[in-house]
Structure 1
Amino acid sequence: MTQNDTQSSVFKVTGDHLNRLLKSGDRHKYDYGHAIVVSGPPGQSGAARLAARGALRIGAGVVSVFCSEACKGENAARLDAIMVKTYREAQGFIDQLSTLKPSAICIGPNLGLDPENRQRLIDIVSLGVPLCLDADAITLVAQDPRPISAAMHPQVVMTPHEGELRRLIPKAFSQTTCRITLAQTAAQTLNCTVLFKGSDTIIARPNGDCTVVSSKPFAHAAWLATAGSGDVLSGMITGLLAKGFDAFDAAALGAHLHLHCAETIGPGLIAEDIPEALPAVLTRCLEMKNNLV
């Protein structure tokens, strides 16, 4: 089976998307949602900070990094507008997270693959809060998808690259090479929106709806192949979820804006640059309205 065997639409930014990116003077920060990024262990929390900056720059009203007490110092030393919220290992993780009233959660960047994190992931998915699963969270799902898939809901976005997707749906890879079909199969199997990373990023819903965000119009897209770039994308998606975008639109719009950031920065891009490019990208988007590439 080839890429052409399954039809999909090319993603287009609409006026509605752009209007919802705006902020209004008669609203306050909590109207734009509280995005929470779950941090990895000490010494591995940088990925969570990158995701958090992506969420804040995309327009979430409040962003927190949720970490163990042992990570508090390293996160607090590197963050200002982003809050650092801690949990105590001896107390209920999910109860402590719930008290923060998250509008959307990102979990996975450098999370770690300990059994405790697997249970935390199951508990977070079970909350029913809009959610972006990336990196180690995807690996944890792949180890045994059944308990997590049972708790999946329409507002979950999963962001695998090819190796991660292969671990999630290995049988499908033996039956087709069509990336669109693979993304659709994963979305249907896992009952969530799947963003399949690649030069053509495929976003699929469980019902089979599918759109493509292509890097081809962007001369500098290849510079996104750098450590931490995917963490920023996950944070951007989480910020859009916190603002009220549905999972499918948050994934597609996040991927599209991610490419525009790469084009703005150009050669030499590193992950830390991407959130800082968003003000210029968003300004151009909002000025151009429906004429965005």
Structure 2
Amino acid sequence: MAAADAAAIAAGTPGEALMARAGLAVADAICQRHAPRPTVVLCGPGNNGGDGYVVARILAERGWDVWVERLAPPASADAKAAAAQWSGDTCEIGESTREADLYVDALFGAGLSKPLDGEAARMARLCERIPDRVIAIDLPSGLAGDTGQVVGDVAFCAALTVTFHAKKPAHVLEPGSSRCGDIVVADIGLVTEGAILLENTPELWLSRFPWPDAGAHKHARGRLVVVSGEAWNTGAARLAARAGLRMGAGLVTLLSPTEALSVNATHLEAVMLRGFDTEVELEQLAADVDAAIIGPAAGVNETTLLNVLALARTGAALVIDADAITVFRDDPEELFSVLDVDDVLTPHPGEFERLFPGFLKEAPERIAAARRAAKKADAIVLLKGPDTVIAAPDGRTAVNTNGSPWLATAGSGDVLAGFIGALIAQGMESFEAACAAAWIHADAADLHGPGLISEDLPGLTPAVLRRLYDLR
């Protein structure tokens, strides 16, 4: 953003003009959501505070009862110019006796590098208790723009955040995302090129979604296999298989240890079933498939390890989940040596730590950790969480922003693996398949809401796909 600002100024747009555009965008967003009411604008000394002075001036011109409480006098040239155009009431934070119905946080924005203290910290604690009455400019003050973490002990919490040009990492990573409320991205005339950090929305992948055409048949819609666990651990693989079928894979086969065949057979209909006893037989059964899923309830044992290596020899794109990740905890390099850029790893943070020890602790945020992991593994890494991060070895990274709390239930990750595998089997590029699957997974969960269990998810998927199909 600093580079984008500098480029705009170098191209002839004064910084004062950019500040005026930013302030106008914030004032417009406020007026669209609120009727005039007593409003205080909390201004810091930098350009975020300068934006605040513009907001105060515009609101006053529109008839609002508004005043400024400043943390310190404006320090930058643009902020000084904006303050000079504000002729309304101004005092230091904490000195006013007036009561506000609305608070505009223009203290620090995304550039904060040290904890809030003094009056700024006091106001943050106040606004944490009344977030529905708070609007933040750029980012709630007290959050680190690159990580979404609270810098120190306290940060503002807002119902609306207005930022400029593009979202920042703190807008999509927790806990920052939850503190931003609704996010409006305003265009103020900046240009950046070559962005590889993306928000995961349908715009990212919908144009390449593998819808069937009029001549489609089941063999053309992708062949997906899922490896079952032993007889007493078969449900997770069936969940993944059913999810793959719902996501459009033409042929889905559950590859089952022979001793688990009868258990699986009693629960399967359109999903086919084949038995195997050794990794050599597994490799033969998967020789001609497009994608393979292994890990859901597979067991953390030598058999699972050998089965992963056998599937890797087939050339099928692999979705490696759960136990198939953990089984390589003592020698991650053995796994990495057989992966390629078409394969997808789907760890939750604990499993991620087993394959990539220290990466999360050493990274300033989950984005950096996932990117580093994808490069090391030479595969797609989907790091699960409320802010799921999908990273590719080439640096492309997407953050899922529609995460649903209803997915916190056993088996939901098995369904996600099935979604990913099915999309890859149908020819979707693995990074985009992982992004699409994560978004659809969360959207389906939100359709159901309270009471969701993982078995519900495949049945909810057609409604999501119908909406996406209509948008194509």
Q: Same fold (TM over 0.5)?
A: yes
8 Å Cα contact 1:18/1:285 also seen in 2: no
In structure 2, the partner of 1:103 is 290
1:131 aligns with 2:325: no
Change (3 A) 1:215 1:182: same
Same amino acid, percent of matched pairs: 36
In structure 1, the partner of 2:237 is 48
SS of equivalent residue, structure 1 residue 187: helix
Residue type at the aligned position of 1:71: A
Q: For residues 141 and 244 of structure 1, what CA distance do their matches in structure 2 show?
A: 28
SS of equivalent residue, structure 1 residue 105: strand
Shift of residue 14 of structure 1?
Answer: 3.6
In structure 1, the partner of 2:199 is 10
In structure 2, the partner of 1:184 is 371
Change (3 A) 1:3 1:73: farther
- Please give the residue correspondences for 1:148-163 in structure 2 after superposition, counting only pairs within 5 Å: 148-163=335-350
8 Å Cα contact 1:33/1:242 also seen in 2: yes
In structure 1, the partner of 2:352 is 165
Shift of residue 185 of structure 1?
Answer: 1.1
Q: Number of paired residues?
A: 283
In structure 1, the partner of 2:442 is 259
SS of equivalent residue, structure 1 residue 285: helix
8 Å Cα contact 2:244/2:421 also seen in 1: yes
SS of equivalent residue, structure 2 residue 382: strand
In structure 1, the partner of 2:468 is 285
Give the structure-1-normalised TM-score.
Answer: 0.91
Shift of residue 3 of structure 1?
Answer: 6.9
Shift of residue 19 of structure 1?
Answer: 5.8
Change (3 A) 1:19 1:252: closer
Change (3 A) 1:184 1:48: same
Q: For residues 17 and 35 of structure 1, what CA distance do their matches in structure 2 show?
A: 21
Write out per-residue CA displacement over residues 221-253 of structure 1, whole angstroms, 9 at most, x where no aligned residue. 111100000000000000001101111011000
1:86 aligns with 2:228: no
Shift of residue 102 of structure 1?
Answer: 1.1
- Of 312, 319, 332, 1:145 maps to 332
Q: For residues 239 and 333 of structure 2, what CA distance do their matches in structure 1 show?
A: 30
Q: For residues 332 and 467 of structure 2, what CA distance do their matches in structure 1 show?
A: 41
- Please give the residue correspondences for 1:58-97 in structure 2 after superposition, counting only pairs within 5 Å: 58-89=247-278, 92-97=280-285
Change (3 A) 1:128 1:241: same
Report which of the two has the higher share of helix: 1
SS of equivalent residue, structure 2 residue 213: coil
Residue type at the aligned position of 2:374: A
Q: For residues 297 and 212 of structure 2, what CA distance do their matches in structure 1 show?
A: 31
Shift of residue 288 of structure 1?
Answer: 2.6
Q: For residues 247 and 16 of structure 1, what CA distance do their matches in structure 2 show?
A: 11
8 Å Cα contact 2:208/2:428 also seen in 1: no
Shift of residue 18 of structure 1?
Answer: 5.1
Write out per-residue CA displacement over residues 168-212 of structure 1, whole angstroms, 9 at most, x where no aligned residue. 111323422410011011101111000001111100011211011
Q: For residues 23 and 267 of structure 1, what CA distance do their matches in structure 2 show?
A: 33
In structure 2, the partner of 1:39 is 228
In structure 1, the partner of 2:391 is 204
Residue type at the aligned position of 2:461: L
In structure 2, the partner of 1:23 is 212
Q: For residues 174 and 16 of structure 1, what CA distance do their matches in structure 2 show?
A: 31
* CA RMSD in angstroms, aligned pairs only: 1.9
Change (3 A) 1:208 1:276: same
Q: For residues 282 and 262 of structure 1, what CA distance do their matches in structure 2 show?
A: 13
Q: Which runs of 5+ in 2 are unaligned?
A: 1-112, 114-143, 148-168, 170-195
SS of equivalent residue, structure 2 residue 329: helix
RCO greater where, 1 or 2, for CA within 8 Å and sep 6 or more?
Answer: 1
8 Å Cα contact 1:93/1:120 also seen in 2: no
- Of 400, 411, 426, 1:228 maps to 411
Residue type at the aligned position of 2:146: N
Q: For residues 226 and 98 of structure 1, what CA distance do their matches in structure 2 show?
A: 30
Change (3 A) 1:105 1:203: same
Q: For residues 210 and 203 of structure 2, what CA distance do their matches in structure 1 show?
A: 11
Give the structure-2-normalised TM-score.
Answer: 0.57
Q: For residues 37 and 47 of structure 1, what CA distance do their matches in structure 2 show?
A: 10
In structure 1, the partner of 2:100 is none
Change (3 A) 1:3 1:172: farther
In structure 2, the partner of 1:121 is 308
Change (3 A) 1:148 1:275: same
Q: For residues 379 and 208 of structure 2, what CA distance do their matches in structure 1 show?
A: 26
4+ long deviations beyond 6 Å: none
1:195 aligns with 2:387: no
Q: Which runs of 5+ in 1 are unaligned?
A: none
Shift of residue 11 of structure 1?
Answer: 1.7
